[in-house]
């Protein structure tokens, strides 16, 4: 076979080209730091690498949502903590204001300090996040959730929706809470109304034990049937020795102690019995009636001065919700009024303290909820990072490149290329006419 120059050049060129391709291939792997640069390098491995890479990309998108949710909830947590501290301060100042040694100037100073704190509370209720959205406005975050209406009272104008963050394929978490539930719909102190229907007696009625009364309201108040919220207090005279009014025959005049007899002499009115009945006439409580001695029932206290035979109506008032700031400001108005009576101030202090206590309960529940959600986000973030690390490890196991081996292989390929080039040079100089 005759070896032509064209054949020599063609074979040498193909050999050099192949050696150069091998060098470029290994250089590409070193540059990308992976053993699979194109699917043809390892078709099965390439599909697995793409699967792990897609999973990591999804996890990174959820990480962004987790970061955003963390930011919203942390802003909310700070606002709630500050509000709770502010309400603590107001509560302490109201307690300080109840001291009888305070002059009107002292009360004015306390009222001024409380007014400044309530201004701060109003700002916290209208707190904004870093993106400028109102965090307690529900889903309508472009405007403040609380405004002052024409009557000078704080009013809710937001909505009760919640914003959610998608932190995994199957999990959403709320990142906002409605200020209406937290600050506007706060129970005020529960109360009742009472008046004398029959009898010439002096009569007073008040809530003596708020906790007991709240429990009585919870068990007996019916929002749908007002008649079930009505009760009656009736006093009856003792008919004769050993005989008393019906349903009260367990009470006998002879059972009076000397202390009862002495107390009876100190008040107007002869002794008798009392009974408290519901709207169906069922007796809920009964006992001795002594004029001027309080009758306690369900956290309520009734005082009568006069002859037995009186009837008083008892009506449970409808529970009312209001913004805690309105309750505080109402109490401040009484505090600033130098003509308000001691009883009016006591009642104002009590109503404000009761509203603050209920608001703090709501804020405390919200802080616990926010803390729990932050814990969920932290756990989810840790899970995401662990998954991403596992995916990266699996990718490296499939397409990882041994840099030392690759560097050695590159050196070998370069040596082979150099050798091919030298052989081509030598062969291109060969001729049948060349002398050895």
Chain segment 228-274, per-residue pLDDT in tens: 999 999 999 886 555 444 443 343 334 455 555 544 444 456 889 99
Q: Provide the phi-psi class of 161: left if phi over 0, else alpha when psi is between -120 and 50, else beta.
A: beta
pLDDT at 115 over 70: yes
User: 339: helix, coil or strand?
Assistant: coil
Average pLDDT over residues 89-118: 90
Which segment of 161-165, 189-193, 399-403 scores lowest on mean pLDDT?
Answer: 399-403
HSE-up of residue 136 (Cα within 13 Å, Cβ side):
28
Residue 56: the pLDDT is 82
Average pLDDT, the chain: 81
Q: Which residue has tokens 């109503």?
A: 351
pTM: 0.68
The shares of helix, strand and coil residues in the chain, as percent rounded to the nearest 5, are: 55, 15, 30
- CA–CA gap between residue 71 and residue 395 (Å, rounded): 32
- For 313, list phi and psi in degrees, rounded to 5: -90, 140
Which segment of 19-28, 176-185, 192-201, 211-220 scores lowest on mean pLDDT?
Answer: 19-28
Average pLDDT over residues 417-436: 59
Show the tokens assigned to 235: 């006093």
Select from 189, 180, 135 the least CA-distant residue to 157. Answer: 180
pLDDT at 409 over 90: no
User: 297: helix, coil or strand?
Assistant: strand
Select from 366, 357, 303, 410 the least CA-distant residue to 78. Answer: 366
pLDDT at 280 over 50: yes
> Hey, CA dihedral for 205, 210, 213, 217, is it positive or negative?
positive
Query: 109: pLDDT confidence band, cut at 50, 70 and 90?
Result: very high
Are 11 and 391 in contact by the 8 Å Cβ rule? The answer is: no
Proportion of the chain above pLDDT 70, given as a percent: 72
- For 88, list phi and psi in degrees, rounded to 5: -60, -45
Which segment of 6-20, 50-64, 220-234 scores lowest on mean pLDDT?
Answer: 6-20
DSSP annotation of 306: S
Select from 154, 157, 122, 149 the least CA-distant residue to 326. Answer: 154
Are 377 and 69 in contact by the 8 Å Cβ rule? The answer is: yes
pLDDT at 396 over 90: no
- CA–CA gap between residue 167 and residue 131 (Å, rounded): 20
Pick 58-187+324-385's CATH classification: 1.10.238.10, 1.20.1330.10, 1.10.150.120, 3.40.50.720: 1.20.1330.10
Average pLDDT over residues 302-327: 92
Average pLDDT over residues 274-300: 92
412-426 b/e (C-beta count within 10 Å ≥ 16 → b): ebbebbeebeeebee
Are 276 and 297 in contact by the 8 Å Cβ rule? The answer is: yes
Select from 343, 11, 366 the least CA-distant residue to 180. Answer: 366
Angle, vertex CA 53, rays to CA 52 and CA 59, nearest 5: 90
Residue 98: the pLDDT is 83
Contacts of range 366-374, beta carbons closer than 8 Å, 24 or more positions apart: 366/76, 366/80, 366/177, 366/182, 367/77, 367/80, 367/81, 367/84, 369/177, 370/73, 370/76, 370/77, 370/80, 370/177, 371/77, 373/69, 373/73, 373/173, 373/174, 373/175, 374/70, 374/73, 374/74, 374/77
Average pLDDT over residues 37-52: 65
Residue 250: the pLDDT is 40
260-288 b/e (C-beta count within 10 Å ≥ 16 → b): eeebbeeeebebbbbbbbbeeeeeeebbb
Torsion of CA 12, 14, 17, 23, to 10 degrees: -90
Q: How many CB atoms within 10 Å of residue 307?
A: 17
Residue 406: the pLDDT is 59
Please, which residues bridge with residue 104 across strands?
A: none
Query: Per residue in 318-375, pLDDT tens?
Result: 888 899 999 999 999 998 888 888 888 888 888 898 899 999 999 999 999 999 999 9
Residue 244: the pLDDT is 46
Q: Where in the chain is the domain with CATH 1.20.1330.10?
A: 58-187+324-385
Are 360 and 350 in contact by the 8 Å Cβ rule? The answer is: no
Q: Which residue has tokens 């803390």?
A: 371
> Hey, CA dihedral for 325, 329, 335, 336, is it positive or negative?
positive
User: What Cα–Cα distance (Å) separates residue 20 from each residue in 2, 48, 348, 417?
Assistant: 29, 29, 93, 7
- CA–CA gap between residue 76 and residue 371 (Å, rounded): 10
Q: Which residue has tokens 């204001």?
A: 97
């Amino acid at each position: 076979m005759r070896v032509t120059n064209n054949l020599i050049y063609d074979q040498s060129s193909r050999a050099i080209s192949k050696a150069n391709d091998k060098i470029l291939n290994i250089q590409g792997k070193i540059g990308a730091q992976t053993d699979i640069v194109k699917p043809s390098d390892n078709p099965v491995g390439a599909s697995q690498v793409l699967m792990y890479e897609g999973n990591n990309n999804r996890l990174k998108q959820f990480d962004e949502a987790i970061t955003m949710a963390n930011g919203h909830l942390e802003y909310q947590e700070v606002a709630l903590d500050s509000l709770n501290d502010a309400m603590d301060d107001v509560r302490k100042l109201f307690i300080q204001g109840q001291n009888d040694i305070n002059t009107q100037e002292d009360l004015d100073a306390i009222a001024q300090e409380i007014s400044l704190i309530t201004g701060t509370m109003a700002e916290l209720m209208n707190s904004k996040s870093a993106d400028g959205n109102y965090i307690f406005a529900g889903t309508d975050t472009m405007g403040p959730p609380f405004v002052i209406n024409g009557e000078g009272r704080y009013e809710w104008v937001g909505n009760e929706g919640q914003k959610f963050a998608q932190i995994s394929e199957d999990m959403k978490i709320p990142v906002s809470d409605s200020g209406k539930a937290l600050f506007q719909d706060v129970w005020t102190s529960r109360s009742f109304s009472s008046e004398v229907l029959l009898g010439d007696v002096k009569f007073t009625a008040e809530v003596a034990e708020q906790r007991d009364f709240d429990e009585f309201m919870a068990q007996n108040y019916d929002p749908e049937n007002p008649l079930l919220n009505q009760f009656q207090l009736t006093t009856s005279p003792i008919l004769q020795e050993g005989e008393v009014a019906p349903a009260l025959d367990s009470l006998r005049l002879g059972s009076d102690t000397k202390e009862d007899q002495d107390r009876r002499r100190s008040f107007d009115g002869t002794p008798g019995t009392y009974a408290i009945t519901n709207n169906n006439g069922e007796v809920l409580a009964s006992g001795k009636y002594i004029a001027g001695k309080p009758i306690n029932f369900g956290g309520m206290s009734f005082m009568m001065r006069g002859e037995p035979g009186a009837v008083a109506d008892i009506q449970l008032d409808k529970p009312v919700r209001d913004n805690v700031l309105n309750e505080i400001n109402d109490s401040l108005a009484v505090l600033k009024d130098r003509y308000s009576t001691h009883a009016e101030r006591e009642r104002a202090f009590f109503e404000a303290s009761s509203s603050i206590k209920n608001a703090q309960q709501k804020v405390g529940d919200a802080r616990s909820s926010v803390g729990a959600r932050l814990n969920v986000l932290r756990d989810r973030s840790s899970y995401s990072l662990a998954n991403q690390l596992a995916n990266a490890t699996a990718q490296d196991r499939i397409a990882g490149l041994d840099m030392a081996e690759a560097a050695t292989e590159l050196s070998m390929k370069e040596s082979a290329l150099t050798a091919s080039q030298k052989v081509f040079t030598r062969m291109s100089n060969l001729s049948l006419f060349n002398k050895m």
